[in-house]
Structure 1
Amino acid sequence: MNRTPLTHERIFREEEFAGSYARRHQKMAEKFGHECAEKLTSRGFRAGRILDAGCGFGGTALVLAQRFPDSEIVGIDLSEPLLRLANRNAQAAKLERRAKFEIGDVEKIPYANHSFDAVLNINMVHIVENPVRMLDEIERVLKPEGFLFIADLRRSVLGFIEKEIRAALTLDEAKHLLNPSKLRAGKFSSNALWWRYET
């Protein structure tokens, strides 16, 4: 794979940088939240436990908490500044009883097998050190009949503009990456900026 390595070190230690990151990505996170909610609703989902593996500032998860008021939403991430922001956002929206954001490694998810009715993973495949391990962990905690939604940046000619896109996978690389994982069978789709994999 011809990827440019990407580090997000500042997001793990700097409150101001984490806040700036959240402001830049808020609309995108909410868009994915509404997209996931529509897909869940179309599959008959009404309530359950939802995991946002790599939740960041909680933008996507909080949309799901609003859309599914009888559900428990759990977000995990390794960035303490982003998690503090996620929990503040949950409190501001009066969702803190149903939306919890905790320290957790997506490559070693701290929950039992088959704990979640739905798992989403947005914009993480190109960031983590071992994406196959992360995908295997997602499969482990997802119930057999559970819903899976993965979306990540797609590397394209736009990479010369944005470093983040240079670090992303092409669609073929994403398909190749998922082959050795234990992830259940699903469907790929893509557009100019994103690839998606879902069940």
Structure 2
Amino acid sequence: MEKEKRTNKYTFQEVKPYNEKDGKTEQLVRMFDTIAAQYDKFNDLMSWGFAKLWRKRALSSLKRFHPMQILDVAAGTADMCIKAFRYLNPEKVTGIDISPKMLEIGKEKIIHAGLSEKIELQVMDCSQLSFDNNSFDAVTIAFGVRNFEKLEESLHQIYRVLKPEGHLLILELNEPQKGWLMKGYRLYIKLFVHQTAKYLSSDQNAYRYLTSSMQAFPKGKEMIEILQNNGFKLVKYKKFTFGVCSMYLMEKPTN
């Protein structure tokens, strides 16, 4: 059953890369188009180099469900799309993203992997999906949900296009919440990530945004509650690598 749209505001939705009047989505399109060529390197920095392992471990949680049609939201440079196809062997993976430049890089990776007939990429905003109801067995979002300008509208759309008993898999970066881990991670971001980012791109606002949005994004029980309030049922919640990454596996109930 489809859930009604909700209009609640969350702090992370107000975090934008540029101090301008443009909406968050418009700013993010410009930002990701600007840093597309360097994004993969920066994501490795933010994840301590564990992003590939986290994707693999998260996707393994979908194996027992054998999803045949997969939608990857915030597909970016298509790493999750390619890994989803290789690990899960579906009939098709469809990836969407708001950044044309990110998808251009993704298309090159897909061609190089020989998967052009199995993976399709489209420019699309998750809050306005053009797919029919009950189209996908699984929806994946890796390190992208914190970039949603309209979280609940996007969750409503994901719920709509998922088949009953279909699954939503979310991976998102977190700032560790306790003791020396929190202090150590903040120091790592400040002294290493921000300094290294200066050599990757001239757009320093982009990298400040990516870290500040991570800090503002709801995590753990708060995020689970948001997902449940939008109709999803919790299947599994897991933290990776001292809590730097969280995985949420949710299900769309049959009624």
Alpha-carbon displacement from aligned partner over 1:103-144 (angstroms, at most 9, x marks no partner): 111111221111011111122232111111111211111111
Measure the CA separation in 2 of the matches of 1:18 and 1:32: 21
Q: Distance in 1 between matches of 2:173 and 2:16?
A: 13
| Closer/same/farther in 2, CA of residues 185 and 39 from structure 1, 3 Å limit | closer
Question: Which residue of the other structure, out of 208, 215, 223, is the alignment partner of 1:174?
Answer: 223
Identity %: 23
Which residue in the other structure is 2:246 paired with?
Answer: 195
Letter in 2 for 1:5: V
Give the CA deviation at 1:84: 0.7
Task: Write out aligned runs for 1:71-82 (5 A).
Answer: 71-82=91-102
Letter in 2 for 1:105: D
The one-letter amino acid of 1:153's match is L
Choose the corresponding residue for 2:60, options 38, 51, 59.
38
Counterpart in the other structure of 2:15: 5
Kept in 1: contact 2:174–2:244 (CA 8 A): yes
After the TM superposition, list the runs of 4 or more consecutive aligned residues in structure 1 that deviate by more than 6 angstroms.
none
Q: Distance in 2 between matches of 1:181 and 1:34?
A: 27
TM-score normalised to structure 1 length? 0.84
For 1:37, give the aligned amino acid.
Answer: L
Query: How many residue pairs get matched?
Result: 195
Q: Distance in 1 between matches of 2:169 and 2:157?
A: 14
The corresponding residue for 2:72 is 52
- Is the contact between residue 6 and residue 167 of structure 1 (CA under 8 Å) also seen in structure 2? no
Report how far residue 97 of structure 1 moved.
Answer: 0.5
Give the conservation status (yes or no) of the 8 Å contact 1:6–1:127: no
Give 1:106's aligned residue: 126
Cα RMSD, aligned residues only: 2.5
The 3 A distance-change label for structure 1 pair 80 and 9 is closer
Query: Which secondary structure does the structure 2 equivalent of 1:19 belong to?
Result: helix
Contact 1:135 1:183 survives alignment (8 Å): no
Q: Which amino acid aligns with 1:180?
A: N
The 1:145/1:2 distance shift into structure 2, 3 A limit, reads: closer
Which protein, 1 or 2, shows the higher relative CO under an 8 Å CA cutoff with sep ≥ 6? 2
Contact 2:70–2:90 (Cα < 8 Å) also in 1? no
Tell me how far apart the structure 1 counterparts of residues 40 and 29 of structure 2 sit (CA, whole Å): 15
Gaps of 5+ in 1: none
* Deviation (angstroms), 1:194: 2.1
Pick closer, same or farther for the CA change 1:35–1:110 going to 2, 3 Å: farther
State which of 19, 43, 47 in structure 2 corresponds to 1:25.
43
- Distance in 1, matches of 2:235 and 2:151, equals 17
The residue number in structure 1 matching 2:5 is none
Aligned amino acid, residue 104 of structure 1:
M
Task: State the TM-score, normalized to the length of structure 2.
Answer: 0.67
Structure 1: which amino acid aligns with 2:174?
R
Task: Please say if 1:61 is aligned against 2:81.
Answer: yes
Gaps of 5+ in 2: 1-9, 18-27, 190-210, 251-255
Instruction: State how 1:119-138 maps to structure 2 within 5 Å.
Output: 119-138=139-158
8 Å CA contact 2:128–2:154 kept in 1: the answer is yes
